[in-house]
Amino acid sequence: GAVVSQHPSWVICKSGTSVKIECRSLDFQATTMFWYRQFPKQSLMLMATSNEGSKATYEQGVEKDKFLINHASLTLSTLTVTSAHPEDSSFYICSARLQGATDTQYFGPGTRLTVL
């Protein structure tokens, strides 16, 4: 089946630093990737939709200068949390859809970010 990887799986950083999270579709091409944020015991909140070769579409209330998304190829999207602060600590999850398909989403294993 389709596999999506995320790196790193967890990261601890100091306040003010930037953190980059990679999301890769390993065995398929994904024109669309999604980035989610999940707080403990809560649902997934969509942050942005990432389309290969174009600018990401951010959901209302998500700062695009804070959460930089780059979808450079059909298999890689990156999320950079710039100048991270403790309130950015969360579980970040990406997902990808098969190229040309509008059905199944495949999720990465998530990245747990802790900002001290």
Partner 1 sequence: GIQVEQSPPDLILQEGANSTLRCNFSDSVNNLQWFHQNPWGQLINLFYIPSGTKQNGRLSATTVATERYSLLYISSSQTTDSGVYFCAVDGRGSYIPTFGRGTSLIVHP
Residues 15/85, Cβ–Cβ less than 8 Å: yes
Residue (14 or 61) nearer to partner 1, CB: 61
Decide if residue 96 touches partner 1 (CB under 8 A).
Answer: no
x/- contact string, 15-44, with partner 1 (CB under 8 A)? -----------------x-x---x--xxxx
User: Do the bridges between strand 111-115 and strand 10-13 make them parallel or antiparallel, or are there none, so unpaired?
Assistant: parallel
Check binding of 87 to partner 1 (CB under 8 A): no
Q: Verify binding: residue 100, partner 1, rule CB under 8 A.
A: no
DSSP element (H, E) containing 112? strand 111-115
Q: Decide: is 103 part of the binding site for partner 1 (CB under 8 A).
A: yes
Residue 105 binds partner 1, judged by CB under 8 A:
yes
Q: Show the 3-state SS of 3-58.
A: CEEEECCEEEECCCCCEEEEEEECCCCCCEEEEEEECCCCCEEEEEEEECCCCCEE
- Which residues in this chain contact partner 1 in the complex, by CB under 8 A? 32, 34, 38, 41-44, 46, 49, 91, 93, 95, 102-107, 109-110, 112
